[in-house]
Structure 1
């Protein structure tokens, strides 16, 4: 009996792979508006500070391949075909959808490498998928996973990382601060689930890790005139410092990989700002190649295609 073929589209944010790609990457993020020379220099210096470029594309590919291995092991009745694409850099999402069609894929599922959902985060990835599908002569069946922020294996992995990080504070109990990437505050007008998802993740992790008190903040807001979700992580650390707190553990649960927003915004910028306030800041390790992430994603993929196999 022929096994059903199922395409799995794993989507990530994307990052430039080399220095000369920073300008077109930044222009794409800005929806086709080139940055000023000053903004370009600032972003280039941030990449220089973390070693030249981010390894996000490599990590995202490895994460996707780990998901494929779990699917092959746990659901061998299907022939799983992996496709990896980015929102802001090569390989592009529309190109991946076109390749899936050219490969004869008739059933597929898409998932974004970010646990929480929002019209302005995961929603934009699936908008690109829908636009690409609409251009096909014969669009294929495509299941969407808008969020997976409370998936048990994901939560268990985050609990493990929090407990591991707490061991770095043998003589003091830090305040724990959960973060995700900020978004324009206009999402609050749409009853968008994004802020709720951040709080649900943090509260579930805190309960399982036995944390008595936790805080929430946003980070890495964009450079636009409109207001973004807050409080910003630096503002929250400053507030805690005024209350006499001297140790903070940041758990950036809205991210699943080392990237510029982690390696620069938290490890360099936030730590320097916190040190000036007399506050020690540490953060949890990112999931990267954690097997719990692969299991979590494989299981949401399996649920999404139930009945289509």
Structure 2
């Protein structure tokens, strides 16, 4: 947690902090809340310590290359017949009210997809997973998209967890179990790209973000 991390850094006598969000696409619900949490504890422990935030990097070149690599590997699971594979970009959903209030999350997603499709030459469709509660959420939802693809006669789906950089509940269970089972019942084969985790290009992305922040400061 932020308080323990800050306590460790202060014990190491750091004189400034660069915080890098592991959400490439900014939203007040994700990066915003995490940054607020960090600032709250920094205010308590060392309010004068300089803090620089890297809060988004939707089209950072090494990040895009890492995603492209995972897509090419994912398509290879369909025996290389990429003409028959529909790519679905599945992002964590948000209430529509966030976007109406100016949250850049969807714009950031579209920047990533645009850069990615320019690099790969492959087109996909954006959908949203993990909604909860009675408010209006971003659409189409991923389950709705699966049904639309089945009605369109699609047979092979490559799911790209576009807003997730590491494995967790939404990738391991929601995509690779729930959505795969749903696709199978609808007569389709679904594979998912691997989240970036420790992909060398993604680690290089983080390194370059930090080095650039140091240069800028």
Structure 1 runs, 4 residues or longer, greater than 4 Å off: none
Q: 1:116 maps to what in 2?
A: 25
Q: 1:277 to 1:307 in 2, by over 3 A?
A: closer
Q: Give the drift of 1:185.
A: 2.1
User: In the alignment, what sits opposite 2:196?
Assistant: 287
Residue 249 of structure 1: how far off its partner (Å): 0.7
Look up the SS of the partner of 1:179 in the other structure: strand
Q: Map residues 231-242 of structure 1 onto 2, 5 A cutoff.
A: 231-242=140-151
CA contact (8 A) 2:75 2:158 kept: yes
RMSD of the TM alignment (CA)? 1.6
CA contact (8 A) 1:98 1:132 kept: no
Native 8 Å contact 1:94 1:128 kept in 2: no
Specify which of 66, 89, 99 is matched with residue 157 of structure 1: 66
C-alpha displacement of 1:136? 2.9
Does structure 1 residue 143 correspond to structure 2 residue 23? no
Superposed displacement of residue 99, structure 1: 3.0
- Hey, what does 1:167 align to over in structure 2? 76
Distance in 1, matches of 2:113 and 2:77, equals 20
Aligned to 2:124: 214
Instruction: Give the TM-score taking structure 1 as reference length.
Output: 0.66
For the residue of structure 2 that corresponds to 1:278, the secondary structure is: coil
5+ residue gaps in structure 1?
Answer: 1-91
Q: Which residue of 2 aligns with 1:94?
A: 3
2:12 corresponds to 1:103 = yes
Cα deviation for residue 307 of structure 1 reads 4.8
The CA deviation at 1:102 is 3.6
Aligned partner of 2:94 in structure 1 is 183
Correspondent of 1:269 among 178, 181, 203: 178
Q: Which runs of 5+ in 2 are unaligned?
A: none
1:55-94 correspondence to structure 2 within 5 Å? 92-94=1-3
Bigger share in helix? 2
